[in-house]
Chain A
Amino acid sequence: MMVKRKIIKERIPTPERPVEERLKGFMEVNLGYTFELAVQEAQRCLQCPYEYAPCIKGCPVHIDIPGFIAKLVEYKDEPDRAVKEALRVIWACNTLPATTGRVCPQEDQCEMNCVMGKVGDKVNIGKLERFVADYAREKGIDDELLGEMLPEIEKKEQRVAVIGAGPAGLTCAAELAKDGYHVTVFEALHKPGGVLVYGIPEFRLPNEVVEKELEKLKRLGVEIKVDHIVGKTVTIEELLNRYDAVFIGSGAGTPRLINAPGVNLNGIYTANEFLTRINLMNAYRFPEYDTPIKVGEKVIVIGAGNTAMDAARTARRLGAEVTIAYRRGEEDVTAREEEVEHAKEEGVKFEFFLNPIEFIGDESGRVKAVKFMKMRALEEKDAKGKRKIEPTGETVILEADTVVIAIGKTANRLIVNTPGLEVEGGVIKVDENLMTSIPGVFAGGDAIRGEATVILAMGDGRKAAKAIHEYLQKKAKESA
């Protein structure tokens, strides 16, 4: 349906909550498109042919992006139908669009090489994807679509255990359930969702979005057992006795610390602790909620990834003055563009080329300042394409009564210690089918990549589900 149409160079903006209002609470910052605005943005897409479209190539799960965008335009007079058809296209590759539409680093993926970029702004693919998912959720269209799929599921006898209820595990579970397998998810925490619930704050990803995903799983017949720590409550070996295959989606749960004096002073949090207290345990509502947190007046966040931005913006909402200190330069910030912009709008300060070398405490053992080594960039680049840095010898001390360390994470240790499970560089080793060194045990997401992205975790979950399906079919044939 190639229609000749006028090129609209500028992006249709998505409304955002004003800064003053944002800082008062945890309400979502970006308000998303209305149907009318979404259609206008959809009309900007040039509808590149499927085989060529650079957006599809840039998306790690290869969503037919022009395909879903076309549905919005095609049925623009029937919003419900437009959304349903668009969702059908998206679901073929991605079952968590409300999440990925919000949190994918679109500028490095689907939107990176969008053809529209040559003449104007790139198409706002992320926000369109999010719109489809949100509209569908609000109107119950996703339930309807799922309802149509359910009767087609042919129940199978085989059982699969999934470890971890983050995006990797949840996706793998959903796909396997759609293939008819009995799936049980084992989750260590009291609430499923992984980083989506304990890490990413509500102002970026409201809880209801994740809850809806979980409901979907329930309808697919997936059982989620919370409070079950694999490696402690039950071992992988035991799971293999009771299930025909196992998928590990246990994430990168171990926070990295800075090896500098004073790192255990009070007031120094890992980003995981800081965000878990606030997002999972609602400490920002203490004493209505029992878990406490202390966010002082001056907060320093160390690191410049998504986690650092989330911690910084959270601290701003709790009234603190916040500085992000990063050992490299601005061009090497790894967080999504949108988060960096939002952080700046919200008054987060940025200091570059500062590497912490000592945490200084008061007599009570609480941090009061951080000593940094000033760094400088060299021309030479490292393996990741970032400019190498070296100390200048000059130091600087910044005051802080709270410090959040957000410099990354490695794989969950309880899983990594499984006998027979090969691990390399702190992550689980897998073959091209995502099978680990233990036959029948597959893995994906941050557990095999280190801290990566939601969409890669999801993509792994989906790929592993396919591999598990093939593995189980082969197994069934062999035993028949």
Chain B
Amino acid sequence: MYKILEKKEIAMRNIWYKVHAPHIAKKVKPGQFVIVRAFENGERIPLTPVMWDKEEGWIGLVVFTRGKTTLRINTELKEGDSFLNIAGPLGNPAPMEKFGKILAIGLYTGVVEVFPIAKAWQELGNEVHTLHVTFEPMVILKDELEKAVFKHTVETVSIDPNKSFPENMKNVTARAKEKVREMIENLKPDLVFMVGPVGDQKAIFEVVKEYNIPMEVDLHPIMVDGTGMCGACRVHINGEVKFACVDGPSFDAYTVNWDELIARSGYYRDLEMKAMQLYMEKLQAQGGAQ
């Protein structure tokens, strides 16, 4: 049981948790993730420690309300409650090298993964430029990134209430592509790093590829155990099957089979929608949806 020491809405649908998890705080490095199980009948989902304190034994998580599990966590867990399980740290730490000038991009809550890595790269002597593209009310970690890196840029897109959410997301993708192009032209980075929805990762990669700049991505396939036991997270990298949880999560964007990964990430969409809908109905029946 891992106690929630602090819970706070830091932006729309983005909830911050400070959680007592000394076994992870002691070990976690930028680029690694944890697997969280919040409820007895719940799923195991991967999340990223955004900051941590070894001495005090806590990690910070930001949970973006996406489907049922994240909504349920954000709705039902209160300060003082506990996560049932947090296992980790998992995956390989991000490579800590001097790359030179780095452009690190986070879309939506993906910036949570960018933050610790970008900070560490900057501390190592790289010149790190970060870019966060998201909807206006969803900006997070702005002050923290401004302090941590050479230059932090936030690009926001406003939400058109007359359009569906997926339609709105297209605007974020378009804006991100434009902005990345512009920043690449201006900065001529030695390395691009990006975290965000897999479709956007592919879209941004296609831009970066035009400039032939090395690019790393943190991949987000569906995971179950996170320890290399199940193979749910498998992806083709350079034509070879790799398990993102033990071989990644970071990979060279030029080697990823993007279409396969996109298809795999969407495999349960119908069931996820169903679960979400049932849960929303339950909340409405209780009169307490957020």
Contacts and interface: CB of A to CB of B under 8 A. Distances in A.
Determine the interface band of chain A, counting residues with CB < 8 A from chain B: 35 or more
Contacts of B268: 292, 294
B165 interface: no
User: Which of A188, A253, A263, A267 has the largest number of chain B CB atoms within 10 A?
Assistant: A188
Contacts of A267: 267
Ranked nearest first, the 10 interchain pairs of A and B with the lowest CB-CB distance are: A365-B263, A273-B230, A227-B87, A270-B231, A292-B271, A190-B85, A290-B43, A253-B229, A266-B267, A289-B41
A290 B41 contact: yes
Contacts of B278: 287
Contacts of A253: 227-229
B263 A266 contact: yes
B106 to A, nearest CB: 24
A276 B232 CA distance: 10
14 contacts: A189-B227, A190-B37, A190-B87, A228-B23, A233-B87, A234-B27, A257-B231, A276-B224, A277-B224, A286-B271, A290-B39, A291-B224, A292-B268, A365-B260
User: Which of B90, B231, B246 has the largest number of chain A CB atoms within 10 A?
Assistant: B231
Contact of A227 (B23, B229, B234, B236): B23
Interface of B: 23-24, 27, 37, 39, 41-44, 68-69, 72, 84-90, 224-225, 227-232, 234-236, 241, 246, 257, 259-260, 263-264, 267-268, 271-272, 274-275, 278
Nearest to A288: B41
B90 A232 contact: yes
A277 B259 CA distance: 25
Contact of B89 (A232, A269, A281): A232
A226 B42 CA distance: 17
A272 B89 contact: no
Nearest to B72: A290
A479 to B, nearest CB: 29
Contacts of B272: 292
Contacts of B228: 253-254, 412-414
User: Which of B23, B229, B260, B275 has the largest number of chain A CB atoms within 10 A?
Assistant: B229
A226 B85 contact: yes
Contacts of B37: 190
Given A189-B225, A264-B264, A232 B42 contact: no
A167 to B, nearest CB: 16
Contacts of A288: 41
B42 A290 contact: yes
Contact of B44 (A190, A229, A272): A190
B23 A276 contact: no
Contacts of A292: 268, 271-272, 275
Contacts of A294: 267-268, 271
Given A232-B89, A234-B23, A234-B27, 8 more contacts: A227-B23, A227-B87, A253-B227, A264-B257, A273-B231, A287-B274, A292-B271, A294-B267
A255 B230 contact: yes
B88 A273 contact: no
A364 interface: yes
User: Which of A227, A254, A277, A286 has the largest number of chain B CB atoms within 10 A?
Assistant: A227
Contact of B227 (A229, A270, A281, A286): A229
Contacts of A433: none
Contacts of B236: 264
Nearest to B279: A287
A387 B115 CA distance: 57
Given A253-B227, A266-B263, A286 B275 contact: yes
Contact of B225 (A266, A276, A287): A276
B232 A290 contact: no
B47 to A, nearest CB: 14
Given A228-B23, A232-B89, A292-B271, A276 B229 contact: yes
Contacts of B257: 264
A272 B85 contact: no
A290 B69 contact: yes
B241 A263 contact: yes
Contacts of B87: 188-190, 226-229, 233
Nearest to A231: B227
Contacts of A263: 241
Given A257-B231, A365-B264, A290 B23 contact: no
A189 B44 CA distance: 10
A265 B266 CA distance: 12
B48 to A, nearest CB: 15
